[in-house]
Structure 1
Amino acid sequence: MTENAPRRRAPGMSPEQRREMIVQTALPLVAEHGTAVTTAQIARAAGIGEATIFRVFADKDELLDACVAAALRTEHVVAEVAEIPMDQPLAGRLAEVAAALDAYLARMGAVIGALHSTGRQGRGAHGGGRAADAGLDRDTAQRQLVEAVAELFQPERSELRLEPEAIASIFLGMLFTRTRRKEDGPALDDFLEVFLHGALTA
């Protein structure tokens, strides 16, 4: 390329890509500051001008709503579960499911908790406005997660008492209960031992 040849510009982001980039940048700041976070802080962290935020979000409330919606989404948990290596014992696979679910619930709790504690009330069931509540399809999210976990039981399918999907559903139900009561609940190793081998030692 000669000195006078025009430089090729990198392709710009679509509005949807820019929204997603801004939301992902904003999430840890919202978890830390709640409603006190400023769009100037988010813009600096994203390496963009503050005006760029308002090209894709009508106002700060809409951005915060999008952050709540993103914190509630389960696609990344399903993707993490799908990537768990199958060449390890079943207990190891299930321990990775527990870690992925713990991380998801911690991120979600941090974002929603920070917003509620800093005064964001009355914006739907989760503080994310109508758009967040409308976009939350619990049945689909649960089904996708059960299907992803069921795949982890496939190598042991012939040894299962029930179909993999039923076992996965039971495991996730127990895991959610353990996660909610982690402070006074069993250690993960004990939980997995009882789940896989039963409550009796015989």
Structure 2
Amino acid sequence: MSPELRRQMIVRSTLALIAEHGLALTTRQIALAAGISEATMFQVFADKDELLHACMVEAARPDEVLRELAGIPLDGSVTARLLEAAGALEAYLTRMGTVMAYLEASGHARAWRESAASTAGLREVHEAVESVVASLAALLAPEEDSLRLPPGQIAQAYFDLLFARSRVLGRPLSDSQLPGLVQLLVHGALMTTDAPRG
């Protein structure tokens, strides 16, 4: 097996285990899941921090979600488009949120952000998120002339709302909550358009 394939196998095994075991995850479990020894694992990754860094970069890869967002038809209502987008984003945000929550709860987040290797990885994560937000903004393009804010700002706010929820382990945003969230985004908090008093 090539070093790159072995690296991918270890990262994917780790992502699955983080979702299943959270803070209880050990390098021994990772090695067992990947079908290798711990010594082999540490020939690929210098330490657990480097492995978790690679997991964050992999979790942020947007290829699949970008395909799904691009497939949402623009002829439906903006509400329908945003609801469909939330469905497309669910797995992506859950994966990213789970890894981020693990990094923070296990104390690895600071080490990850401050490591020399994280500079390129953070750039990759930011670029991935920016591409997803740009795809969300494209879903708002038909209404651009009637929006209070540029589509990119609205798309970023929507992404942030969904992502913040995905980082609460064990409490995903339920299907019954999404329509209300989208209505809030599309129509605002007030039920009427009357000007505020006093």
Judge same fold: TM > 0.5, yes or no.
yes
Q: 1:146 — aligned with what?
A: 133
Amino acid at match of 1:189: P
Unaligned runs of 5+ in 1: 1-11
More helix by share: 2
Aligned mate of 2:102, from 106, 114, 122: 114
Q: 1:77 to 1:168 in 2, by over 3 A?
A: farther
2:174 pairs with 1:187? no
- Paired residues of 1:35 and 1:118 also in contact (CA < 8 A): yes
Unpaired runs of at least 5, structure 2: 194-198
Question: Paired residues, what number?
Answer: 182
Out of 137, 141, 160, the residue aligned to residue 176 of structure 1 is: 160
SS in 2 for 1:150: helix
Q: Structure 1 residue runs of 4+, over 6 Å off?
A: none
- Please report the TM-score for the alignment, with normalisation by the length of structure 2: 0.65
Please, what is the CA RMSD of the aligned residues?
Answer: 3.8
Q: Give 1:99's aligned residue.
A: 87
Output the TM-score relative to the length of structure 1: 0.64
1:175, 1:40 → 2: CA distance? 35
| 8 A contact 2:10–2:30 mirrored in 1 | yes
- Quote the Cα distance in structure 1 between the aligned partners of 2:164 and 2:109: 23
Return the offset for 1:144: 1.5
Q: How many angstroms apart in 2 are the aligned matches of 1:58 and 1:168?
A: 39
State the identity %.
38
Larger gyration radius, structure 1 or structure 2: 1
**Counterpart of 2:117 in 1: which secondary structure?**
helix
